Amino acid sequence: MTNFMSIFASGSYPATQDTAKDPLEKVHLSFMKWTMNVNKSTSNTAVWGDTGRYPLAIELTSQVYSYLGRLEGLDKEGCSSLVRHAYAEQRDLNLLWFSRLESTKNTVKQLTGGSDISNPLEISEAMKTLFVQQWNKERKLNRKLGFYNLIKASFGCETYLSISLRPQQTRRLAQLRTSSHQYNIETGRHGM
């Protein structure tokens, strides 16, 4: 359980730039860039937007909070199982994984207008909404994504990634869209 909860231990969600600091998310981003066949230096914001994928911690939110709910249910029932005792001890010690889950829940509550969200699916959807809002801010502020902003208005998987194209065609489209190509306009040699 500790490894599973370590995804949340970074405490960096839902910001898109901070997600790249998490070791598991680095692998996730590398895989998405490899799938798109673009450079490692391609903007993470553009990769998130074109793939329509959320960080792993956000994808797992519903499962994590469902499990937490089951643990809390065992505690309320006064169950004598070892799991209940381990949970109660870790909660009482306010261990990092527990405090981060509570902190994330409180942050989501504050950012969504103060309504108490206890349903795991609602927490997950709220985190996805917050992630997309942050993605939109970063997309608009990133000067390198000028062309991308003209052609990408909403978060979601782009068609060119799901149709049958040759890998080179997919790569060229992705590079053009995300401004990670080597054309003169991008390398600064135009107009000379």
What rounded mean pLDDT belongs to the chain? Answer: 79
Could you tell me if 51 and 160 are in contact, meaning their C-beta atoms sit under 8 angstroms apart?
A: no
pLDDT digits (tens, 9 = 90+) for 84-109: 888 888 889 988 888 888 888 888 88
pLDDT given for residue 169 in this prediction: 83
pLDDT given for residue 54 in this prediction: 93
Chain-centroid distance of CA 27 in Å reads 12
